[in-house]
Amino acid sequence: MKVLLVQLPVPDNRHSNLPLALGYLKAMADAAAIPGLSVELLEPSIQNRGGDALITEAILRHDPDIVGFSLYTWNSSRTLGLARALKQRAPEILLLGGGPEVNYDGDFVLSSPDFDFLVQGEGERTFVELLRLLNKSGLKGAQERVAEAGIRGLGFRRKFGRVANLIELPLAGRAVHDWIFGAPQPALEDVNMVPSAYLSGALEEHLGRYISIELSRWCPSKCTFCYYGRQDLPRGGKRYFEVERIRQELLFAMERGVEQVHFVEANLNTLPHLEQIYSTIKETGANRKMSFYAELRGEAIDREEAQKLVECNFSVVEVGLQSAVPEVMARVRRKNHLPRLVQGVRNLRSLGTEVFLDVILGLPGETPETFHRTLDFVEQNDLQPYDLFHLQILSGTQLKAEVSAGQHGIHYQPAPPYFVLETAELSFEKLCELRLETLQRKGDPLDTVPGLPQAGPFDLADDLAATSEEGTQVGTVDFRPVERVVLDFDEQLNREELSRLARQLGSHVTLWLKPGQAGETVMTEAEEALNLLSEPNLSGVWQLFVETERPLTEAEQSRLLKAIRHEAGYPDRLGVFALGQSDPAAFSRWPSISFYQLLPYHPENAEWATPEVVWQVTLANNSSLWPDQLAEVVSRQGAGVQIKTPSGTQPAKLKAALAGIDPGSKTLWLADSKLAAGMAFAFAEDSTEALTNLDYPLTARLSGGRITVAQPARKSLELAALRWAV
């Protein structure tokens, strides 16, 4: 019996998709030594970067009997679409879902018709029990036998029967999709019963420069809006991971060159064995090799505690304020000791630790006056920077139960991210107004949709030849995610090739169309190309650049945007407040589809300026003219500038020309890929981002009526970054 496990990434953070929960499941199943059982995780390059069609094909290539998905708010919409595609292609495969999104009140996931089984709560024990049963009795008629077995914490479809110890969960109006769950699976009495996902080797192929280490499965707080710690045991249960295990995982990480560790812990500095953890970090030397991140209770950070955190190299920490108004906090059963919290943040910052404060908009009982009190409190006590979060109504929380019972006057999104759209005190319009005011006070961009992937440094690199001494010619499309497509409409499109390419695309794709004068015939071809590429990738995030010799009309822009097939997903629903529209179906454009017009810059073309224009500027052969050229084009309205440099341009000359240029919110793209690599590496905020910025997207081009793909060799880009630096 073959099991494949999948966890899709956060859309704008694909490089940090470490499937820790799936690692636990594999480690637990491997330790159970079930005869003939194979449990694998989908390869990270496909899982993290692949588009819908590519991931579906990759899963089918594994020929699994069971596919298990880890469901979170950021990936459940897309995962449900993937489950639908798998059931259409291979209905015999059993689909299993688990994670925080699976709860007795989780209507969004429960209403999906495609899962065969769902795991509620802590899943390791339920997972192994299910595999033992299926391995013993076979897969044929599996649903009926699972229904008869009544495995705790496991849900199955109502149509397969019921037994006495099960909990029935009707969904009004959706009887055909009703679920029946086994009685809750008791929380593990000792979490150390679960083998380490790292030391067992379960996550070996998924390791990078960042890992998460779980310290406990416990939280002393009972905030009604949070799901963390819902399975806490009464006093006596061992919900802390042993220090020796943590020690071994730190040593494991250091041996593999890990640079950053995220401790998965809601309140690190409330752990009873914290002193032992500090000692272990220093004894292993981990504080000299790696930086650490954790969530803290600000009230518990005195000078001594701050010093210990600094000595252990906690370079960034997160502190939850949520609200500075006690009566608002009381509505969600949370208490803050504000003077101690302020002092705790100051203690850490005085020692050089970066502290991010959390503020939530939309809490029950919040009014404009109380929210302003929180913002004033933050500013008066110099607690910036802080992050603004919109309240989410998460399944399995006490707050969702209260809202479902009619309390607080809250209306929220029925699908992830489940943002609160209205409360008894705050209309949607007022929430939008408060968000905008907060961003203005923070000095943040006002029109950015949070959570969307950002532009890449190589989006408009235009020097990648089909063959090159320093380039890697891949040839026709292989089984890797293609993340950039360049189409020149000088030659006829090969529709068969485009359809094949569509099945190889990534989840985030830059489309660079070159329709020239954009005549009617070419525009029709462009529409067809966009339709072919997007049709099998309905959850895709697209960045569309259209290079023309003249501005496109609104009608022409609309034609191209509508040609991209798309279904509303998590990234789109993130944009409701930024776009001031509570129903994504009413959006004039999907946030997941960015549109830019790429136009040649000449002073006489300045009247073409719009917020979506990316100006193309070709620098003169005389480098002394560059600063004035760049200053002029950057001063024009637009989204960014593509800079074309003379052949053989040395980094030093370009750096000198850019030194006095302030692009503001505009993006600067370099057409020369090596110069682009140098600038991207140099301007990264940390070493991890710098190396990530050297990832040149696998690029597909139409050439000779065929699609070929290519990308520069990584070593050539690293050398270019070095040349820029020196």
How high is the mean pLDDT of the chain? 91
DSSP sequence for 238-267: B-B--HHHHHHHHHHHHHTT--EEEEE-S-
Sheet (strand 154-157) strand order: 38-41, 2-6, 66-70, 94-98, 117-119, 154-157, 179-182, 166-169
How far is the first Cα of the chain from the last one, in angstroms, to the nearest whole number? 55
Of 165, 243, 177, 253, nearest in space to 212 by CA: 253
Convert 434-464 to b/e letters by CB count within 10 Å (16 or more is b).
bbeebbeebeeeeeebbbbbebbbbbbbbbb
Backbone angles phi and psi of 352, in degrees to 5:
95, 5
CA dist., res. 378 & res. 357, Å (int): 9
Respond yes or no on whether the N-terminal peptide bond of residue 19 is cis (omega within 30° of 0). no
Q: In this predicted model, what pLDDT tens digit does every residue of 509-539 receive, in sequence order?
A: 999 999 999 999 999 999 999 999 999 999 9
Number of C-alpha atoms within 13 angstroms, CB side, residue 706?
7
Backbone angles phi and psi of 320, in degrees to 5:
-90, 115
Report yes or no: 153 and 135 within 8 Å, Cβ to Cβ. Answer: no
CA dist., res. 514 & res. 265, Å (int): 49
Respond yes or no on whether the N-terminal peptide bond of residue 417 is cis (omega within 30° of 0). yes
Of 98, 88, 161, nearest in space to 124 by CA: 98
pLDDT of residue 172: 39
Q: Are strands 2-6 and 210-214 parallel, antiparallel or unpaired?
A: unpaired
pLDDT of residue 236: 47
Place of tokens 């069609």: 53
pLDDT of residue 628: 94
Helix axes 673-682, 714-725, angle to 10 degrees: 60
How far CA 15 is from CA of 19, 659, 688, in Å, comes to 12, 30, 10
CA dist., res. 18 & res. 41, Å (int): 11
Sheet (strand 505-516) strand order: 471-475, 706-712, 699-703, 482-488, 505-516, 541-548, 593-600, 613-618, 640-644, 667-670
Neighbours of 636 (CB within 10 A): 17
For residue 709, give both structure tokens. Answer: 């793909």
How far CA 79 is from CA of 28, 108, 156, in Å, comes to 24, 12, 18
Neighbours of 555 (CB within 10 A): 7
- Give the residue ranges of the chain where pLDDT is below 50: 163-164, 170-176, 235-236, 465-471, 473
Q: Are strands 411-412 and 291-296 parallel, antiparallel or unpaired?
A: unpaired
Burial group, residue 355, by CB count within 10 angstroms (0-12, 13-18, 19+): buried
Report yes or no: 19 and 206 within 8 Å, Cβ to Cβ. Answer: yes
DSSP sequence for 605-619: GGGG--TTEEEEEE-
**Residues in CB range of 651: below 8 A, 6 or more apart:** 675, 678, 723, 724
- DSSP assignment, residue 50? B
Report yes or no: 660 and 632 within 8 Å, Cβ to Cβ. Answer: no
The neighbouring-strand residues paired with 600 are 616
| H-helix or E-strand spanning residue 144 | helix 142-149
